[in-house]
């Protein structure tokens, strides 16, 4: 196993009687892109703040870039918090340069780098605009650039995609890939699965403060049963009698009669299932077999909790 | 240290770069000057001419009242004329002008003594007085002096009369009873009817009725009469009084001139009636024993207290006021700033880059620099203004400048500014770190303001008793030390108080900053409701932040 950039060991955080994070262990190898996934209120932000030593864990240890506190290596870390905000009266370049300077870059270099970054990610013409005149999305891009202008070895981005339009989400993905390409280790949190799916090496799924899954994306996909979606007028009972079918439920995404999700027994072959359907004379309007997406994994693992969280 | 300076310079630049900041700085001196001019203008020009009626049923007072009002007007006119001449005389004639306006005695309109003015004018400058009291009298004077005036000098405009006596309406007789007169004129006084004066309709401001038997009560009495009067008084009979009718009771100029004139005249005639020589009495009344004020702290032979000394005694009041204003201003700047960073969530990024101590120190430093900038600007504008103010009060200005740049007051001011700033900035910073919005902060600010207001309430009294119990006790309360000790600074407080309170203040600053650092650290990332008091106490426990 390669060297670890971050090691979180048995960390718990209590807020009064409330357990925000419960005995979480994370290992992030150097140079990887690591996604933190989880429903709202799962404890992602608290974990991130503990990693940064902004709040301190109740129990457990955190080692970041070999140091026991992020504050000791803070010049090597870049951080984009969940709730974005900038000094409204400052100019875009000045704010990028200011944060870089706070991270130890000398002022001249910071200024040069600020202009470089703004130009590279399509904000050249706004470099001299005050933040209050920029749109929210542009402001957010400026903030992302401000958090990476000092070329950090370790980057933590809390919800970097929220509030961005699809084009800028793409730009954001590019930023993350570029950073990884330059050798940085990146942690980012999101609840948009497609981003994680496209750019993460590994993901961590947490809910209610507890780690649910930690591993690569194929590993995640393997945690849920193979699933086939069929479109038919046949009764639910007939479908569940088919060999290799574990359970049958109406498709969540399509709210109409006749669409079913068939969860298959481990190792069952969808081809055989299709054959059986023909043999039994079931008339199918559709038969769709896809690898489960991260979205499916997420819903499967934390769907109930997420719904509960919404109700609360 | 590097980060602290970075934070400080950003903080400074952000504030100093806004227009609002500079407007805020300059608004104070501008307001101060504005207030002076506006009150002057209100007093002199903004009040309309007041028309009044005097019904004198004794027949002996009204002329005196008239001439007294004339004299008063003339004195005001002379004062204006004097100022006008001074402004318009050519430089070389300033000291030997043909019209000897220097001989016009100094006129203090506030307690103007018409007789004294008259007497001094008669003695020194009778000619001018005679001419000026006649209509157009100043025109002659101006023409005479014209060769000595600068070319662009226009005409001197005599000031407007502030009070003008008008006759009774035609349908009313002077001899009607006071009751009838009052009843008849009430609608005029209330503004329902107006009087016609020189073809113009004017409002009646006041009505004065002097009843015919007004003097009777003062006449010399024999014993029987005195007893009879005493019995009458017991039975509820009131002696006759002069009636002053007006809907405006706030403007006391007219009634006070009236009553002083009437008193004078009555006394004059009573003196004559009792065989006294009024001139002799006046002479005696003018006699005055001079009181010299001496200060034992001053050098031998120079103990006499001068105007500058009085100014110096009182200057701390001004210093305290400015101290208070400036500390309030910068401390609330700090509060707003912190709340902005908190509500914008910038604080989180900052805290991933700097420690909360560095952040706090940086903010304190940056805003302190702002505060010093503000003070420098005020000092410069005060100095500039005073120097520019060319006028007869020149000696006063030099002594004022001496006081401002005094070798003990100014250093004391700077020391107490920094001390007070650090205490209050620490408190405000902690409040800012606990609140997410200005509105929440206001809940905290209420009690803080109540506490802070105390030095403002006491600042006028402390110089009168600079080493009294109040002053001493307040000096030893660290949050009041800067203000109260500044207040006492001119009176050379005892060394024990001076050094003791300073040391206490410095320790308090350290304590406050330590405490605020803890609260700042714990509060800065909080969201939601401000914490309860007990919770804040927990933050102060050792090791609670780890």
Distance (Å) from the alpha carbon of A297 to chain B's nearest alpha carbon: 32
> How far, in Å, CA of B92 to CA of B150, rounded?
10
| Helix intervals (H) in B406-437 | 409-434
Which of B365, B357, B363 is CA-nearest to residue B522?
Answer: B357
Residues B332 and B465 in one domain: yes
Contact predicate B138/B156, CB 8 Å? yes
User: Averaged over B271-276, what is the pLDDT?
Assistant: 88
| Residue A1: per-residue pLDDT | 45
A204-213, B104-113, B471-480, range with the lowest pLDDT: B104-113
The yes-or-no verdict on residue B529 having pLDDT over 70 is: no
The yes-or-no verdict on residue A309 having pLDDT over 50 is: no
- Classify the C-alpha dihedral B470-B471-B473-B478 as positive or negative: positive
The yes-or-no verdict on residue B533 having pLDDT over 70 is: no
- Contact: A147, B345; criterion CB under 8 Å: no
Residues B517 and B375 in one domain: yes
| Residue B546: per-residue pLDDT | 40
State ipTM: 0.74
| Residue B88: per-residue pLDDT | 78
CATH architecture assigned to A4-65+153-221: 3-Layer(aba) Sandwich (3.40)
Residues B269 and B320 in one domain: no
The yes-or-no verdict on residue B411 having pLDDT over 60 is: yes
pLDDT tens by residue, A216-274? 888 887 777 777 888 887 777 777 777 777 777 777 666 667 788 877 777 777 788 88
Contact predicate B116/B107, CB 8 Å? no
- Beta strand spans in chain A (E): 4-15, 18-29, 33-37, 59-64, 77-80, 154-158, 185-190, 202-207, 210-216, 227-232, 245-250, 259-264, 284-290
- Is the model more confident about B105 or about B377? B377
Which of B192, B166, B159 is CA-nearest to residue B47?
Answer: B159
Task: Give me the percent of chain B exceeding a pLDDT of 90.
Answer: 3
Most confident residue range from A131-140, A177-186, A216-225, B245-254: A177-186
Q: Which of A54, A98, A101 sits opposite B348 (nearest CB)?
A: A54
| Residue B126: per-residue pLDDT | 67
Which of B410, B431, B423 is CA-nearest to residue B481?
Answer: B423
Q: Kindly state whether residue B35 falls inside one of the protein's structural domains.
A: no
Question: What range does the domain containing B118 cover?
Answer: 62-148
Contact predicate B53/B208, CB 8 Å? yes
Q: Which of B235, B251, B286 is the last residue of a domain?
A: B286
Question: For residue B44, how many other CB atoms are within 10 A of its CB?
Answer: 14
DSSP string, B87-120: HHB-GGGSSS-SS-GGGSPP--STT--HHHHHHH
Structural domains counted in chain B: 3
| Residue B313: per-residue pLDDT | 72
CATH code of the domain occupying A225-291: 3.30.70.1560
The yes-or-no verdict on residue B135 having pLDDT over 70 is: no
Residues of A in contact with B546 (CB under 8 A): 56
From residue A242, alpha-carbon distances to A21, A147, B306, B407, B493 in Å are 43, 55, 114, 101, 101
pLDDT tens by residue, A40-53? 778 888 888 888 88
The yes-or-no verdict on residue B397 having pLDDT over 80 is: no
Residue A72 sits at the chain B interface (C-beta within 8 Å): no
- Is the model more confident about B399 or about B489? B489
> How far, in Å, CA of A265 to CA of A267, rounded?
6
The per-residue pLDDT of chain A, averaged, comes to: 83
Residue from A53, A74, A102, A147 whose CB has the most chain B CBs within 10 Å, to mutate = A102
Residues B73 and B113 in one domain: yes
User: Averaged over B260-274, what is the pLDDT?
Assistant: 87
Q: Kindly state whether residue B433 falls inside one of the protein's structural domains.
A: yes
φ, ψ (nearest 5 deg) of residue B118? -60, -45
| Residue B526: per-residue pLDDT | 62
Residues B121 and B245 in one domain: no
A207-221, B32-46, B101-115, range with the lowest pLDDT: B101-115
DSSP structure class, residue A40 = T
Continuous segment of H or E residues that includes residue A138:
helix A136-148
| Helix intervals (H) in A10-91 | 44-51
Which SS3 state, helix, strand or coil, does residue A282 take?
Answer: coil
Q: Kindly state whether residue B360 falls inside one of the protein's structural domains.
A: yes
Most confident residue range from B41-45, B159-163, B324-328: B324-328
Most confident residue range from B126-140, B312-326, B412-426: B412-426
Q: How far apart are the first and last CA of chain A?
A: 41
Residues of A in contact with B433 (CB under 8 A): none
Q: Which of A55, A56, A99 sits opposite B349 (nearest CB)?
A: A99
Range list for CATH 3.30.70.1560 in chain A: 225-291
The yes-or-no verdict on residue B382 having pLDDT over 60 is: yes
Residue A54 sits at the chain B interface (C-beta within 8 Å): yes
- Contact: B14, A89; criterion CB under 8 Å: yes
Distance (Å) from the alpha carbon of B521 to chain A's nearest alpha carbon: 9
């Amino acid at each position: 196993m390669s060297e670890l950039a971050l090691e979180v060991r048995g960390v718990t955080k209590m807020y009064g009687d409330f357990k925000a994070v419960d005995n979480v262990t994370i290992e992030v190898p150097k140079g990887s892109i690591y996604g933190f996934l989880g429903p709202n209120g799962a404890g992602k932000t608290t974990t991130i703040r503990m990693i940064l030593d902004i709040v301190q864990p109740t129990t457990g240890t955190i080692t970041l870039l070999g140091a026991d506190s992020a504050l000791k290596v803070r010049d090597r870390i870049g951080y984009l918090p969940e709730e974005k905000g900038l000094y409204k009266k400052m100019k875009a370049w000045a704010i990028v340069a200011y944060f870089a300077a706070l991270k130890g870059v000398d002022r001249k270099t910071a200024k040069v780098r600020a202009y470089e970054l703004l130009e590279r990610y399509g904000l050249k013409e706004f470099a001299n605009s005050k933040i209050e005149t920029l749109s929210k999305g542009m402001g957010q891009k400026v903030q992302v650039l401000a958090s990476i202008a000092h070329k950090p070895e370790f980057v933590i981005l809390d919800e970097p995609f929220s509030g961005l339009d699809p084009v800028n989400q793409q730009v954001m993905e590019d930023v993350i890939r570029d950073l990884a390409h330059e050798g940085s280790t990146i942690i980012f949190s999101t609840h948009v699965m497609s981003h994680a799916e496209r750019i993460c090496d590994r993901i961590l799924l947490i809910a209610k403060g507890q780690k649910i899954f930690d591993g690569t994306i194929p590993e995640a996909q393997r945690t849920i049963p193979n699933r086939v979606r069929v479109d038919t007028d046949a009764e639910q009972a007939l479908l569940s009698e088919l060999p290799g079918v574990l359970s049958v439920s109406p498709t969540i995404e399509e709210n109409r009669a006749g669409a079913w999700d068939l969860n298959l027994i481990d190792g069952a072959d969808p081809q055989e299932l299709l054959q059986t359907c023909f043999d039994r004379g079931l008339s199918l309007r559709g038969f769709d077999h896809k690898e489960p997406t991260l979205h499916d994994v997420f819903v499967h693992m934390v769907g109930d909790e997420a719904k509960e969280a919404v109700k609360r | 240290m590097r980060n602290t300076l970075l934070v400080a310079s950003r903080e400074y630049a952000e504030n100093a770069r806004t227009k609002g900041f500079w407007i805020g700085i300059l608004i104070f001196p501008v307001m101060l000057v504005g207030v002076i001019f506006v009150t002057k203008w209100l007093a002199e020009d903004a009040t309309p001419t007041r028309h009044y009626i005097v019904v004198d049923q004794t027949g002996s007072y009204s002329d005196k009242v008239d001439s007294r009002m004339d004299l008063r007007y003339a004195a005001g006119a002379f004062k204006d004329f004097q100022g006008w001449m001074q402004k318009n005389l050519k430089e070389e004639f300033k000291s030997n002008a043909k019209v000897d306006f220097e001989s016009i005695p100094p006129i203090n309109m506030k307690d103007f003594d018409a007789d004294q003015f008259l007497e001094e004018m008669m003695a020194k400058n009778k000619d001018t007085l005679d001419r000026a009291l006649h209509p157009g009298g100043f025109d002659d004077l101006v023409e005479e002096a014209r060769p000595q005036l600068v070319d662009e000098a226009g005409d001197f405009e005599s000031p407007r009369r502030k009070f003008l006596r008008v006759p009774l309406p035609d349908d009313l007789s002077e001899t009607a009873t006071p009751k009838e007169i009052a009843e008849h004129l009430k609608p005029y006084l209330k503004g329902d009817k107006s009087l016609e004066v020189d073809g113009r309709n004017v409002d009646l401001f006041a009505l004065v009725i002097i009843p015919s038997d007004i003097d009777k009560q003062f006449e010399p009495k024999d014993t029987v009469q005195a007893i009879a009067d005493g019995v009458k008084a017991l039975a509820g009979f009131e002696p006759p009084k002069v009636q002053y009718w007006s809907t405006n009771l706030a403007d006391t100029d007219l009634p006070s001139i009236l009553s002083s004139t009437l008193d004078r005249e009555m006394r004059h005639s009573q003196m004559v009636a009792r065989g006294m020589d009024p001139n002799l009495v006046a002479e005696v009344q003018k006699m005055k024993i001079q009181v010299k004020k001496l200060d034992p702290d001053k050098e031998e032979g120079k103990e006499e207290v001068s105007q500058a000394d009085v100014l110096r005694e009182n200057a701390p009041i001004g210093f305290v006021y400015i101290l208070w204003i400036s500390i309030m201003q910068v401390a609330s700047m700090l509060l707003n700033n912190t709340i902005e960073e908190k509500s914008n969530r910038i604080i989180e990024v900052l805290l991933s880059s700097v420690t909360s101590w560095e952040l706090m120190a940086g903010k304190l430093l940056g805003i302190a620099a702002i505060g010093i900038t503000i003070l420098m600007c005020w000092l410069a504008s005060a100095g500039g203004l005073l120097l520019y103010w060319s006028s007869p009060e020149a000696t006063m200005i030099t002594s004022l400048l001496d006081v401002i740049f005094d070798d003990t007051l100014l250093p004391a001011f700077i020391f107490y500014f920094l001390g007070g700033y650090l205490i209050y900035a620490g408190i405000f910073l902690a409040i800012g770190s606990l609140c997410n919005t200005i509105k929440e902060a206001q809940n905290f600010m209420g009690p803080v303001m109540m506490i802070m207001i105390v030095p403002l309430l006491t600042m006028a009294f402390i110089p009168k008793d600079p080493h009294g119990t109040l002053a001493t006790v307040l000096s030893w309360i660290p949050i009041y030390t800067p203000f109260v000790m500044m207040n006492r600074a001119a009176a050379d407080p005892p060394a024990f108080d001076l050094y003791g309170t300073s040391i206490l203040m410095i320790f308090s600053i350290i304590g406050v900053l330590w405490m605020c650092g803890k609260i700042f650290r714990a509060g800065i990332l909080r969201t939601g409701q401000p914490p309860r008091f007990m919770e804040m106490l927990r933050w102060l426990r050792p090791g609670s932040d780890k």
